[in-house]
Structure 1
Amino acid sequence: MKSITILGSTGSIGQNTLRIAHKFPERFRIEALVADTSIDLLAKQIQAFLPGLAVVRDEAHARALREKLPAGCDTEIRFGEAGRIQAATLAGVDTVVAAMVGAAGLPAVMAAIEAGKTIALANKETLVMAGSHVMRAAQERQVSIFPIDSEHSAIFQCLQGNRHSDLDRILLTCSGGPFRTLAASEFAAITPERALCHPNWSMGKKITIDSATLMNKGLELIEAHHLFGVPAERIEVVVHPESIVHSMVAYRDGSVMAQMGVADMKTAIAYSLSYPERLDIGQPIPNFSSIGSLHFEAPDLERFPCLRLAFEAARIGETMPAVMNAANEVAVYAFLERRIGFLDIADRIGRVMADHRVLSHSTLDDVFEADRWARQRTREIL
């Protein structure tokens, strides 16, 4: 039996993790649930799984959550960063599922690593912001990090049984998002509602907008660089609209290994929790005869400048990825609030990156300061 903390239990990753835990109650025990403000859903999760601890954004939401729980519920309610760190470091927890959106998940992940917990990682911003620090801490503590992103899980699976020294490059696949074939002249008129309609995946609002701008693939590029120890210039983004091939690994003898499956996050989540075993989670195998053809193409960096900015941030390194990530978060939420247009997202990110003075040999405190500065600078120019 594995005891699990879920950072981000009310998001799509968290809910799918709970579905797997419900299907295999003899294997997984939910010890702590961490959410932000979705207290109605969190209250239902608490009553279903009876965790010892639940954490929300602030004291007001903690009071509201207590009022929704029945008398006699023994779940301890905490809030804020201190509560998230407590949930990530509980003595009885084996695995921490890191599924919080954005930079807020980094401190809890670092605390979990320091406490020796296995990490099932869906929060890509953790490695984008502070990948070298996170991976160094994991190596020092001999902590395993299993990727939950479908692309990184695919890469991880394609690397199994092969020597890292034989790897030539990573082929990171990308659906292309909802605007893959849309004329550039129409981008200025894109609304939040239109951008939230992803053709293949059901995700939270922030990551769905990132998929529409292709920034999500840029974040995944930086994440893969740190997670697998591969230089960014040896990671190639390939647009694959069917989302059947989740990513590929090419070896120096010309062999290419691909991991394929239907577009459903439960496969990657289950593998991260049960590795090296594969659980029977009832997933169908793709009907290849019905699919007929699989298509691949290069991304258009002119129409999708966010991906170009991510390549630039990866090349520069140090504090620049943290700045890019922070600027993107602020700009995406401004777009969702209709304060800026779709094209303004990349514009604001580029302006903040141009203003940033990169810190060499940066510490983790430098990363947090770069994140804080970038958020403030983005708000100033919005």
Structure 2
Amino acid sequence: MKSLSILGSTGSIGLSTLDVVRRHPDRFSVAGLAEGHDVEALSRQIREFNPSIVSVRDEASAAQLRDMLDGNLPEICWGIDGAARVGEAEEADMVVSAIVGAAGLVPTVRAIKAGKDIALANKETLVVAGQLVSDLVRKHNVRLLPVDSEHSAIFQSLEGHRTEDIERIILTASGGPFRTTPAEELLRVGPEQALKHPQWDMGAKITIDSATLMNKGLEVIEAHWLFGMPADRIGVVVHPQSIIHSMVEYIDGCVMAQLGAPDMRAPIAYALSFPERCESGIQKLDLTKVATLTFEEPDTERFPSLRLAFDALRAGGTYPAVLNAANEIAVASFLDRQIGFTDIPAIVEKTMDAHKPENTVDLDHYLAVDRWARETAAAMTL
């Protein structure tokens, strides 16, 4: 029996994780749950999975949760520290890190220091502080297992092969809802259109990131840290059907790919049960119905966010942290209708241009850079 703490339990990854747990009560249990937005949903999860510790956004939410629950209460905490305490829970064998954005960094770092294996769905943890997190994973001898479908696909395609035989890794991208939209029409795009992803059911922030291709850019940086590949050995292709989740090309010309329906329960189930596999609940893939798989080069003129992510990776240091923080602010401003769709990458680029390069492996320094970038980007949205 593997006991889990789930950070971000009421988001799309958290809900999918709990569905996998629900299907395998003999294999998985829940030690802790942390959420930031939906106290009512958390109360239902507590009644079903009986965790020993939970965390909510703030003290007011904690009081609200206590009022909702009857009988024996779990330990209730709040804020970033509360989420970190859930990750550190003594009973937990593995932590599913699925808090959206840079807010997931501190709880994930503390879970690693507590010796917990990490199922990583929070790519920003590696984007913001990849060197620090990688060093801590080695120091504390824990496993960092990818949950993003692309990185899970690469992980699976690498199994049984030598690192020195890799030519490059290839991330696939759906292309988002505006794959064929002319550049001039992108100027008039609103949140309603951008939130209509053609393949995946995701939260608002990651859906907008998919529309700008920033999500793929963040995944490029994550792939660098997970698999030790430099920027010039990471490729991206647009694959609208989202059936091939990513590929590994080897020096002999062979390409290994992982295929499956676009459903996050598959990579979640693999991370939870590794090195074994378990039933995930996803629809079985019928290639005769898929019929056609197509691929295109990404258009970095219409979608400059992908180029900016490669620039940040090549620049190194704290540039990826600046990229991520500025993007989070810009996306939130777009969803609030303060800026336009094409303003998102423009604000990110201006914030990166204003940054003075720094090298650090200190958590407080990363967090300070994150704050600076947020304040700088926010000033551009006014």
Cα distance in structure 1, aligned partners of 2:319 and 2:280: 40
1:181: Cα distance to partner?
0.4
1:261-276 map, 5 Å: 261-276=260-275
Alignment deviations for residues 333-382 of structure 1 (CA, whole Å, 9 cap, x no partner): 00000000101101111110000001034533221111010001111111
Alignment deviations for residues 97-121 of structure 1 (CA, whole Å, 9 cap, x no partner): 0000001110111111111100000
User: What residue is the counterpart of 2:232 in the other structure?
Assistant: 233
Cα distance in structure 2, aligned partners of 1:14 and 1:361: 31
Alignment deviations for residues 247-301 of structure 1 (CA, whole Å, 9 cap, x no partner): 0000111110000000000000000000011102343332211221100010000
User: What residue is the counterpart of 1:85 in the other structure?
Assistant: 84
- 2:187 alignment partner, SS class: helix
Q: Is the 8 A contact 1:9 1:35 kept in 2?
A: yes
User: What residue is the counterpart of 2:149 in the other structure?
Assistant: 150
Letter in 1 for 2:213: L
User: What residue is the counterpart of 2:52 in the other structure?
Assistant: 52
Alignment deviations for residues 112-158 of structure 1 (CA, whole Å, 9 cap, x no partner): 11111000000000000001110111011111000000000000000
Q: How many pairs were matched up?
A: 381
User: What residue is the counterpart of 2:3 in the other structure?
Assistant: 3
User: What residue is the counterpart of 2:187 in the other structure?
Assistant: 188
User: What residue is the counterpart of 1:287 in the other structure?
Assistant: 286
279-288 vs 108-117, which moves further? 279-288
Q: Is the 8 A contact 2:66 2:73 kept in 1?
A: no
Cα distance in structure 1, aligned partners of 2:374 and 2:282: 40
Cα distance in structure 1, aligned partners of 2:270 and 2:105: 23
Letter in 2 for 1:379: A
Provide TM-score, normalisation by structure 1: 0.98
Cα distance in structure 2, aligned partners of 1:292 and 1:27: 36
Alignment deviations for residues 22-60 of structure 1 (CA, whole Å, 9 cap, x no partner): 111111110100000210111111111111111011101
- 1:189 alignment partner, SS class: coil
Instruction: Give ranges in structure 2 of 5+ residues lacking alignment.
Output: none
- 1:66 alignment partner, SS class: helix
Q: Identity percentage over the alignment?
A: 53
| Cα 1:181–1:39 shift into 2, 3 Å | same
User: What residue is the counterpart of 1:328 in the other structure?
Assistant: 327
Letter in 2 for 1:21: V
1:114 equivalent to 2:134? Answer no
Q: Is the 8 A contact 2:265 2:281 kept in 1?
A: no
Cα distance in structure 1, aligned partners of 2:270 and 2:361: 34
Cα distance in structure 2, aligned partners of 1:258 and 1:251: 11
- 2:145 alignment partner, SS class: strand
Q: Is the 8 A contact 2:194 2:207 kept in 1?
A: yes
Cα distance in structure 2, aligned partners of 1:6 and 1:223: 20
Q: Is the 8 A contact 2:30 2:51 kept in 1?
A: yes
Letter in 2 for 1:81: I
Letter in 1 for 2:37: T
Letter in 2 for 1:185: E
Cα distance in structure 2, aligned partners of 1:73 and 1:208: 38
User: What residue is the counterpart of 1:164 in the other structure?
Assistant: 163
- 1:29 alignment partner, SS class: strand
Letter in 2 for 1:345: I
RMSD: 0.9
Cα distance in structure 1, aligned partners of 2:164 and 2:9: 37
- 2:269 alignment partner, SS class: helix
Cα distance in structure 2, aligned partners of 1:298 and 1:28: 41
Alignment deviations for residues 166-221 of structure 1 (CA, whole Å, 9 cap, x no partner): 11100100000000001111001101010000000000000000000000000000
Q: Is the 8 A contact 1:319 1:366 kept in 2?
A: no
Provide TM-score, normalisation by structure 2: 0.98
1:101-140 map, 5 Å: 101-140=100-139
282-291 vs 205-214, which moves further? 282-291
1:184-223 map, 5 Å: 184-223=183-222
Letter in 2 for 1:66: R
Letter in 2 for 1:33: L
User: What residue is the counterpart of 2:36 in the other structure?
Assistant: 36
1:241-256 map, 5 Å: 241-256=240-255
User: What residue is the counterpart of 2:63 in the other structure?
Assistant: 63
